[in-house]
Amino acid sequence: MTSKPTTTTKAREDFLAPLDEQAYRKSSTSDMANPRNWSVAKKRLLFAALMSSSLLADGAMTWGATLVVTQAENWGVSINYSATSMNYGILLQGFGGIFAVPFIEAYGRLPIWFWSQVVTMFMVLGATLSTSYPVFTTFRSLQGFFGTVPQVVGLSIIHDMYPPKDWPRMINIWASTFLVGPFLGPAIAGYLLVASQYHWIIPFGVLTALYGLSTILIILFGYETYYHQSDNSNPANRSPLMKRIYAFIGLNNNNTHLDKPSTLVSESSRLLKLIFRLPLLLTGISTMINFCWPIGITATVETFLHAPPYMFDEIQAASMRFAGVIGAVSGYVFGYFFNEWIYKHYQSKNNITQKTGNNDELGRTASENSSVQVADALVSFSSAHGEQQHQVSSPSSSGWRPEYRLHGVWIPVASLAGGLITYGLTLNFQKSWLGLAFGWIMVNLGMVGSTVAITAYTLEKYPSHSTTVSAILNMWRTCGGFSVGYFQASWIARNGVGVVFGVQAAVVVAGVVVFVVPVFVLAGRRWA
């Protein structure tokens, strides 16, 4: 006998209803202004342009990590001081993403994406032509502020352009740029430095050209993906060329149907409120801690590799960066499958079921992917434009809790702490570089693996604010990376690498206890 659905179960069904792919198709199957009805080729070309700019966001910011020794010699400063040229840029990446969110909602995706890329290209050009450390650092800082936009706008573009069943797959592909970029960029720059006979301007000239290429791809293949059925964003009296120009400008083109000033105010207010929501604040601080030490390794490893007993040349030091790539990809793969296991485990334990209909297919697709809750989070994205917000799941009806996602943190944090100890002891006792590589792999596995779990939790917890939540986590991530460059070198000089990396490992473990465990406690009180 089938029991009558409870109110909370009905609310969940209502929430999941927009995920029905057939409902999306019925809404406007013949309207080619709807990005979901665009041709496969058009979507792929736009996505390729997005991937190029997203890869440069982190990859270009750490591009100079393998050039600090040469730059220090040219400018007559210490290597440690030269390495801090990236710090402000890393910090401003987080605040640049926060700053961009209200403008993306008010003016559309394309103009903010395009013009930030143009400005970033000129900032990199300015850094290339700089003749002093202060000027170079200024341009690099501005590069970080404007260059982070693709990491924020990408989620919106994927939501606009693809049906729900494709969200997890496309997000996974897009997110891969965040994994390899920070390590691939310095490796390429190091190879170019050797090929140019140690003229650091050449690698930065190549980086400027890469930004130029990415900008050209946006011009050729970029389109506004915001769509609203009642929105007439393509007036009939405009020629195709003028429509294209107005889309890039974003003004007087009605890229979105929203009132610009009120949207900027409301989105900014919502952003500030979310930053200080206790669950998001606690997990954000944990993310900052987990990113602090790995980014510190990325920024300072060059100074260790060129010093005794390793004495790496530029090619060897650049190649060492692939240890970071291996670790990041390993963490992503772990998070991918472990996140899936968590969902299936609690599904069988609590007999979590989806209702019949097309939502069954979506639930199956989601449960087979580690980004299931990222897709669920994107469901309510449209509520950021004024629709009613719904809770993802009801504890009383399904047995599923968003906090279960945080169980994916424990193993990665153990790997992160163990990797820091391995890395520090290898340096302290001057053992083989293989110890450094293995420790770095463990560190990055833990960093990315823990971030996958925290991101899945926060996006499920606040589904109607997915883009904003992503920007907030990005801010916490970069705050950690910014800070470590200023105190790690002097700390090591004062206490030694063994003590420093041992303390860092202890801080990582303590951070989980202090900032992640309370999230379970707070949630438990609410469930009681």
pLDDT of 289 reads 93
Report if residue 87 sits inside a domain.
Answer: yes
**CATH code assigned at 131:** 1.20.1250.20
Residue 343, CA atoms < 13 Å, CB-side half-sphere: 23
Report if residue 9 sits inside a domain.
Answer: no
Measured at the CA of 230, the angle between CA 227 and CA 231, to 5 degrees, comes to 55
Report if residue 53 sits inside a domain.
Answer: yes
Report if residue 476 sits inside a domain.
Answer: yes
Token pair recorded at residue 162: 């693809």
Dist CA 20 CA 360 (whole Å): 10
pLDDT of 368 reads 36
Dist CA 475 CA 276 (whole Å): 13
Q: Look up the domain containing 187 and give its range.
A: 35-527
Q: In this predicted model, what pLDDT tens digit does every residue of 251-307 receive, in sequence order?
A: 765 567 778 889 899 999 999 999 999 999 999 999 999 999 998 888 778 889 988
Q: In this predicted model, what pLDDT tens digit does every residue of 76-104 receive, in sequence order?
A: 998 888 888 888 898 899 899 999 999 99
pLDDT of 298 reads 83
Report if residue 516 sits inside a domain.
Answer: yes
Report if residue 2 sits inside a domain.
Answer: no
State how many domains the chain has: 1
pLDDT of 525 reads 66
pLDDT of 452 reads 84
Residue ranges in the chain modelled with pLDDT below 70: 1-30, 168, 229-237, 252-255, 350-398, 525-528
Report if residue 381 sits inside a domain.
Answer: yes
Report if residue 22 sits inside a domain.
Answer: no
pTM of the model: 0.79
